[in-house]
Amino acid sequence: MPGYEVTEPRLRCVLPFEAAPAEVPLLRRATVKQLNRWGMPVPCDEAELLVTELATNVVKHVGEGTPAVLILEWSGERLRLEVHDKSPVVPSLRKSGCGDECGRGLHLLAALAVDWGTVPTAAGKAVWCEIGLSAGSACPRLERAAEALENYEGAREGVALHGRARESGLEGSAVGLITDLLHWTAAQGYDPEDILDWAQMHYEAEAEAA
């Protein structure tokens, strides 16, 4: 399967369901029950939210009553969630202005998951995502942010700052970098407010899970 290689022992659970709004909360509860049974070190809220998005995508875009399958798989430091359905149509991220029906839920999926994607199957397709299980998963994000700010500051100022001056410089660089990114998203045809909303949802989900 593209983008997927199993290199160590794994745990797997297959949960068939019917694409219907009433089935989604049942699927969430079944997911939490299974993760607790495995003793998995992953925030259940995050897994529940991703299961909701994956299952709701089938309800909205494939049709109510469609048979589907949720697969939970724990391998190494990642939990993989897959939803298989019988439609060959592959969902994709769209630009702003087309509403939720054009894949806003997928933006949330992309924001919360470490990685995600789609793959054709013999019966239709599978949409999958992965959650990182490392206890220090937030550290790389902070390190990347600090590195990006320092590089941005260096390019903008051309000088290296230290101590309080460095902290003040990084704060100003954070504002400048975010502003530049919003200009870039607008130039690419995206709505900057949507980008901020998705980033805020991502941040709040990770903060609650911490």
- Domain 10-132 CATH (choose: 3.30.565.10, 3.40.50.300, 3.30.70.3040, 2.160.20.10): 3.30.565.10
pLDDT on residue 201: 78
- State how far Cα 149 lies from the chain centre: 23
Q: What is the pLDDT of residues 32-78, one digit of tens each?
A: 999 888 887 666 778 888 999 899 989 988 999 999 999 999 887 88
- CA dist 144 → 112, 147, 180 (Å): 17, 5, 17
Q: pLDDT-based confidence at 3, cuts 50/70/90?
A: very low
pLDDT on residue 206: 63
**Cα 11 to Cα 38: distance, rounded to the nearest angstrom:** 8
Whether pLDDT at 84 is above 50: yes
Whether pLDDT at 164 is above 80: no
Determine the average pLDDT of the residues in 152-173. Answer: 53
pLDDT on residue 26: 94
Residue 146: exposed, middle, or buried by beta-carbon count in 10 A (0-12, 13-18, 19+)? exposed
Determine the average pLDDT of the residues in 180-206. Answer: 81
**Cα 136 to Cα 106: distance, rounded to the nearest angstrom:** 25
Whether pLDDT at 184 is above 50: yes
pTM exceeds cut of 0.85: no
- Here the tokens at position 159 are 């000088």
The CA-based angle 51-123-57, given to 5 degrees, is 30
pLDDT on residue 159: 42
- CA dist 92 → 89, 105, 113, 119 (Å): 10, 10, 15, 12
Q: Lowest mean pLDDT of 44-48, 79-83, 127-131, name the range.
A: 44-48
**Cα 72 to Cα 81: distance, rounded to the nearest angstrom:** 5
Domains of the chain, by residue range, sit at: 10-132, 138-209
Q: What amino acid occupies position 74? A: W
Determine the average pLDDT of the residues in 148-156. Answer: 63
